[in-house]
A and B are shown apart, each in its own frame.
Chain A
Amino acid sequence: MLAVWRRNLKVWLKHIKASLIGNLGQPFLFLLAMGFGLGKSVPEIEGLTYLQFIAPGLVASAVMYSAAFEATYGSYTRLSTQGTFEAILMTPVSVTELALGEILWGATKGLVSGLIMLAAIPFFGVVPDPAVALILPVLFMEGVLFASMGIVMTATATNYEYFNYFTSLVITPFFLFSGIFFSLSAMKGLVGLVLSWLPLAEVVTISRALTYGNLGPGLLLNLAVLAIYTALFLSLAVVLMRRRLIQ
């Protein structure tokens, strides 16, 4: 599993610049446009300026984008055109180890993007509470979740276009409706309830709470839900990858 992870790291280090800019461009642009731009005309939400309100969510979204893209476009390239998986499976590495290695790698890339984002927000005037250190394992788990979802897609993909469904129907809605840009607790009724159960919403809530030091027992529920999603998709990813690679 670690051998697979190290292989991907080695290749990534050769293209690190392009890769980082590609992954981080979007969250940064949103921080600028929404935080500085839109923020001027939006009142405070939950006692935070608009920039402060969206920054922790954008950290979470950076993890999601990086992990999900790596585990779809990246992993699928290794599965199909490059034949990397085929080469690896000639060796003692099993399909399960390969799938876990790929997920661990996607999660790592997610975590790296999240941390860069986190390190950057003070430059936008958002200074996190020391409690933010607790977010590391949460972001890593989020990375595992979205890398697993990506691998589920990769294991069932027949071409790159297939990932458009995932991007437009899953990732983009998650990004827009997980409470990064508006307060879910202000949404009344069923809609607010449903949205608050989105996987990314759990991370956004935790991220915002830790960034501003608002620790409470409610966060454990968010964490538990996130863990359940992660375990579910992780197992599904491994099962589907086995089905794909062993005839």
Chain B
Amino acid sequence: MSLEAMEPKLGGQGEAILEISGLEKRFGDRVAVDRLDLFLEHGECLALLGPNGAGKTTTIRAILGLVRPSGGTIRVFGQDAAKRLKQIKMRIGVVPQMDNLDPDLTVIENLMVYASYFRIPRKVAAARAEELLSFLALNNRRDEIIQHLSGGQRRRILLARALINGPELLILDEPTVGLDPQARYLIWERLLSLRDNGTTMLLTSHYMEEVSRLASRVVILDQGRKIAAGPPDEIVADIIGAEVMEVIGDGKELDRLADIVEGCQVSVEKAPDRLFIYIKKGCRELDQVIRQFPHVVKRPATLEDLFIKLTGRKLRET
């Protein structure tokens, strides 16, 4: 399936929340974002995936007017982001990657101060802040100084802060980075309930489980370019197949195995100590030869397999 065919068409049943077309950003010689098209319709959660330096954060910063595009257009809520940035940002909430709460202020003060940047009247903001504290199970931390709180609590406050203006579009830049599973589950649960209530979300994450749970659609970026897009299950099935075999063995054996299965509808990828066989459709040759290998794990294909297949195993450092 082509990329275009998977994108919802403009003017479909969904109202366009975000439309990015031909977005380009160059930093000197480096192309950070390369002719990117993105479409986000009302109520969906779109995940942007990609290795470090793929252009996710640059794209988000461009939406927020903090990166000046070298080309292309960004429309949010049907308005040109270059011209109506202030009006647009009144309706956006952002959970940043980095904890940038005010460390000297209390939880409630953080929320109230943030509300003032949106010019929300004090009374309205106070009521909203109390609501958010109970939504995120933070009532008993209300008057504590941020410095004294745990990582999980701070992340929840960042989410509460992002919701203070009742945003129609929520941008989540690695919202659970560095959290333990319990803290992560609590945030996922709250995000799902927001999604179910119609909040549109743009998510970036390196946790594939997070993406599988939250996102209705994913876009995979590499070196600023969109290399795959679609609902998570569909693109995994389309590009990878239904199942993956991980075969452990020595290099020669694995090379032989790779040759034998070449005729099947599978694709293979070699890692130093193992062979990954992505199976689109089972075949007899594979079933026969695999019996000779004692260390084989067969499991359903995941988003992580897709991600690694498309972007490689090499370490990305920027």
- Chain A interfacial positions (CB closer than 8 Å to B): 3-4, 6-7, 10-11, 14-15, 82-84, 86-94, 245-247
Docked-complex contact A247 and B66, CB < 8 angstroms: yes
Whether A10 and B64, one on each chain, are in contact in the complex, defined by CB atoms closer than 8 angstroms, is no
A246 and B82 alpha carbons, distance in the complex (Å): 13
- Tell me, in angstroms, the Cα distance from A19 to B65 when the chains sit together: 35
Contacting residues, chain B, for A4 (C-beta < 8 A): 117
The answer to whether A7 touches B64, judged by C-beta atoms less than 8 angstroms apart, is no
A85 to chain B, nearest CB (A): 9
| Residues of B in contact, count (CB < 8 Å) | 32
Choose among B65, B89, B100 the residue that contacts A87 (Cβ–Cβ < 8 A).
Answer: B100
CB of B119 within 8 Å of the partner chain? yes
Those of B143-168 within 8 Å (CB) of chain A: 162, 165
List 22 contacting pairs A-B, 8 Å CB cutoff, sorted by A.
A3-B119, A4-B117, A6-B113, A10-B109, A10-B113, A11-B104, A15-B104, A83-B96, A84-B100, A86-B96, A86-B100, A89-B64, A90-B92, A90-B94, A90-B162, A91-B117, A92-B89, A92-B90, A92-B117, A94-B86, A246-B66, A247-B66
Residues 58-75 (chain B) with a chain A CB within 8 angstroms: 61, 64-68
Choose among A3, A11, A245 the residue that contacts B117 (Cβ–Cβ < 8 A): A3
B131, CB-defined interface residue at 8 Å: no
* Contacting pair B96 A247 (CB below 8 A): no
Q: What A residues does B116 contact at CB under 8 A?
A: 3, 6-7
The complex places the Cα of A4 from the Cα of B100 at a distance, in Å, of 15
- The contact of B105 among A3, A11, A90, by CB within 8 Å, is A11
| Assembly CA distance A83 to B173 (angstroms) | 15
Check A91/B105 contact, CB under 8 A, given A86-B98, A246-B68.
no
Task: Determine whether the beta carbon of B102 is less than 8 Å from that of A11.
Answer: yes
- Taking CB atoms, residues of chain A closer than 8 Å to B96 are 83, 86-87, 90
Query: Within 8 Å CB of A10, what residues of B?
Result: 105, 109, 113
Closest Cβ of chain B to A5, distance in Å, is 10
CA of A84 to CA of B162 in the docked complex: distance in angstroms? 14
Q: Is the CB of B61 within 8 A of A84?
A: no
The complex places the Cα of A178 from the Cα of B78 at a distance, in Å, of: 56
B135 contacts partner chain A, Cβ-Cβ < 8 Å = no
**B145 to chain A: closest residue by CB:** A14
Which A residues lie within 8 Å of B188 (CB)? Answer: none
Most central of B92, B100, B165 by chain A CB within 10 Å? B100
CB atoms of B98 and A14 under 8 A apart: no
How far is it, in angstroms, between the C-alpha of A82 and the C-alpha of B100 when the chains are bound? 6
Report whether over half of chain B's contact residues are helix, strand or loop; otherwise say mixed.
loop
A146 smallest CB distance to B (angstroms): 24
Q: Which B residues lie within 8 Å of A84 (CB)?
A: 100, 102
B207 contacts chain A at the CB level, 8 A cutoff: no
Whole-angstrom CA separation of A3 from B113 in the bound complex: 8
A88 and B117 form a contact (CB under 8 A):
yes
A-B interface, 3 closest residue pairs, ranked by CB to CB distance from nearest: A83-B100, A91-B117, A90-B94
Complex interface: chain B residues within 8 A of A246 (CB)? 65-68
A142 CB, min distance to chain B CBs, angstroms = 28
User: In the complex, given contacts A82-B100, A247-B61, what are 19 additional A-B residue pairs having Cβ atoms less than 8 angstroms apart?
Assistant: A4-B117, A6-B113, A7-B102, A7-B113, A10-B109, A11-B105, A14-B104, A82-B102, A83-B98, A84-B100, A86-B98, A86-B100, A87-B100, A87-B102, A90-B94, A90-B96, A91-B114, A92-B87, A247-B67
Residues of B within 8 A of A91 (CB): 89, 114, 117-118, 165
User: Are A82 and B103 in contact, with the CB atoms below 8 A?
Assistant: yes
Give the residues in chain A near B100, CB-CB below 8 Å: 82-84, 86-87
A91–B68 Cα distance when bound, in Å, is 17
- Provide the bound-state CA to CA distance between A159 and B113, in Å: 27
Give the distance in Å from the alpha carbon of A51 to the alpha carbon of B274 in the complex: 84
A87 to B119, CA, bound (A): 15
**Residues of chain A with a CB closer than 8 A to B104's CB:** 11, 14-15
Residues of A within 8 A of B67 (CB): 246-247
> Are A92 and B99 in touch, CB under 8 angstroms?
no
Task: Contact check, B101 vs A87: say whether CB atoms are below 8 A apart.
Answer: yes
- Which residue, of B87, B113, B114, has the highest number of chain A Cβ atoms within 10 A? B113
Asked whether A83 lies within 8 Å of B86 as measured between CB atoms, the reply is: no
A15 and B85 CA atoms in complex are apart in Å by: 35
Name the B residues within 8 Å of A15 (CB-CB).
Answer: 104
Which B227-246 residues have a C-beta within 8 angstroms of A? none
Residue of B85, B89, B92, B165 with highest tally of chain A CB at under 10 A: B89
Closest beta carbon of chain B to A70's beta carbon, Å: 15
Q: Tell me, rounded to whole Å, the shortest Cβ–Cβ distance linking B189 to chain A.
A: 24
Which residues of chain B have C-beta atoms less than 8 A from A90's C-beta? 64, 89, 92, 94, 96, 162
The one of A3, A82, A245 in contact with B66, judged by C-beta atoms closer than 8 angstroms, is A245
Contacts of B119 in A (CB 8 A): 3, 92
**Chain B: CB-nearest residue to A245:** B66
The CA-CA distance from A3 to B116 in the complex, in Å, is: 6
